[in-house]
């Protein structure tokens, strides 16, 4: 094992990682929650973030970089703080997702607050085309919704409240009969 310099870890981050480690028979299982926690603190899985997680978990930073780079939601480059994942997989694209993504990307322009990404199927084809905005599913979206979506985000308001998936009833008419 290589000898590394002692790494300073923010106390809250250390506590959160340790809490996750305690949940599993093998503490290594906490890699994903730990990396997500570090990403929240640092904005992305930067080398510094990886070294901090490594120091708490007792694994190498290389191991964590390997893990982080495998998963779409872990960022290995600096990104904007608001994530806008636009589903561009088949069901959404059949309903205009590619145009929607282009419109959001275009509207966000060079604003570094936003991390607008095309994403694989987000599991919400019933509200296609849709996006996950900081983890909140909204849809079906039209190009007309784009300015308000970004404005809501800029203003820290709930995004497109009436289009949030959580408000939607089951499509099966007999389900609630």
Partner 1 sequence: MKLLFKNIDEPGLATREVYEQRGGYASLRKALAMEPEAVLAELEASGLRGRGGAGFAMGKKVSFLPKGSIDKYLVCNADESEPGTFKDRELMQKSPHMLIEGIVIASYAAGANRSFIYIRGEYVQQADLLDAALAEARDAGYIGENILGSGHSLSLVVHRGAGAYICGEETGLLDSLEGKRGNPRLKPPFPANQGLYQGPTLINNVETLATVPTIIDMGGAQYAELGTETSKGTKLVSVSGHVQRPGNYEIELGIPSREIVYGLAGGPPEGRQVKCWFPGGSSSPVLIKDDLDLPYDFDSMAKAGSMLGSGAIIVVDDSTPILDVALKVAKFYRHESCGKCTPCREGTNWTVKMLERVQTGEATPMDLEIMASVQEHIIGNCLCVLGDAMAMPIGSLIAKFRGEFEAHIEQARAASGLTVGTPAPALAGGLV
Partner 2 sequence: MPRPTPRTITFTIDGREVQAPENSMLVDAAKHGDVEIPVFCYEPKLGNPVGACRMCLVEIEGIPKLQTGCSTPVKDGMVVNTQSPRVKTAQQAVVEFLLINHPLDCPVCDKGGECPLQDITFGWGSGISRFVEPKRHFVKPLALSEKVAIDRERCILCYRCVRFSQEISEDYQLVLLERGAHSYVATFDGRPYEAPFSGNIVELCPVGALTSRGYRFRARPWDVEDSGTICTLCPSQCNVKLTVRDERVMRVLARDNPEVDDGWLCDRGRFAYPKLAEDRVTEPMIRDGGELRAVSWERALDEAATLLARAGARTGALAGGGASNEEGLALHHLIRETLGSQNLDSRVAGTLPLELHRALAEPALQAKVPDLEFAHAVLVLDCDPIADAPILDLRLRKGVRRHGMKLVPATREQLLDEGKRRELIEQLRAAGPAADGSGLEVVVLWHERLGAGPDGERAVRALLDLAATLELASTEGAGLLEVPAHANGRGLREAGVLPNAGPGLSDVDEDGLDATGIASAFAQGELSCLYLLGVDPPANAAGAIVAHAAFLTDALREQADIVFPAEAYPEKEGTVTHPDGTVQRVRRAVRHLGEIRDESQLLGELSERVAARVGLAVSA
Is the CB of 3 or the CB of 173 nearer to partner 2?
Answer: 3
Is the CB of 148 or the CB of 168 nearer to partner 1?
Answer: 168
User: Which entry of partner 2, partner 1, none binds 61, CB below 5 to 8 A by partner kind?
Assistant: partner 2
| Residue 117 · residue 104 · CB < 8 Å | no
Cβ 62 to partner 1 shortest distance, Å: 12
Cβ 106 to partner 2 shortest distance, Å: 26
**What are the residues binding partner 1 (CB under 8 A)?**
23-26, 28-33, 35-36, 66-67, 70-74, 85, 89-91, 93-95, 119-128, 132, 135-137, 165-166, 169-172, 174-176
**What are the residues binding partner 2 (CB under 8 A)?**
1-2, 47, 50, 59-63, 65-66, 69-70
Q: How far apart (Å, rounded) are the C-alpha atoms in residues 108 and 143? A: 13
DSSP result, 59-110: S-HHHHHHHHTTSTTS-SS---SEEEEEE-SHHHHTTTHHHHHHHHHHHHTT
Cβ 121 to partner 1 shortest distance, Å: 4
Q: How far apart (Å, rounded) are the C-alpha atoms in residues 150 and 49? A: 28
Beta strands in the chain (DSSP E): 82-87, 114-119, 131-133, 136-138
Is the CB of 3 or the CB of 25 nearer to partner 1?
Answer: 25
């Amino acid at each position: 094992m290589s000898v590394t310099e002692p790494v300073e870890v923010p106390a809250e981050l250390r506590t959160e990682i340790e809490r996750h480690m305690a949940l599993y028979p093998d503490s290594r299982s906490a890699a994903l929650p730990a990396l997500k926690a570090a990403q929240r603190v640092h904005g992305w899985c930067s080398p510094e973030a990886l070294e901090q997680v490594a120091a708490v978990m007792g694994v190498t930073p290389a191991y964590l970089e390997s893990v982080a780079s495998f998963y779409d939601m872990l960022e290995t480059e600096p990104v904007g703080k608001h994530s806008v994942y636009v589903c561009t997989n088949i069901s959404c694209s059949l309903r205009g997702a590619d145009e929607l993504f282009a419109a959001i990307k275009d509207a966000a322009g060079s604003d570094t607050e936003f991390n607008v990404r095309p994403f694989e199927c987000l599991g919400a084809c019933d509200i296609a085309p849709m996006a996950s905005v900081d983890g909140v599913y909204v849809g079906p979206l039209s190009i007309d919704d784009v300015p308000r979506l970004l404005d809501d985000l800029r203003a820290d308001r709930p995004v497109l409240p009436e289009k949030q998936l959580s408000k939607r009833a089951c499509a099966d008419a007999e389900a609630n009969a």
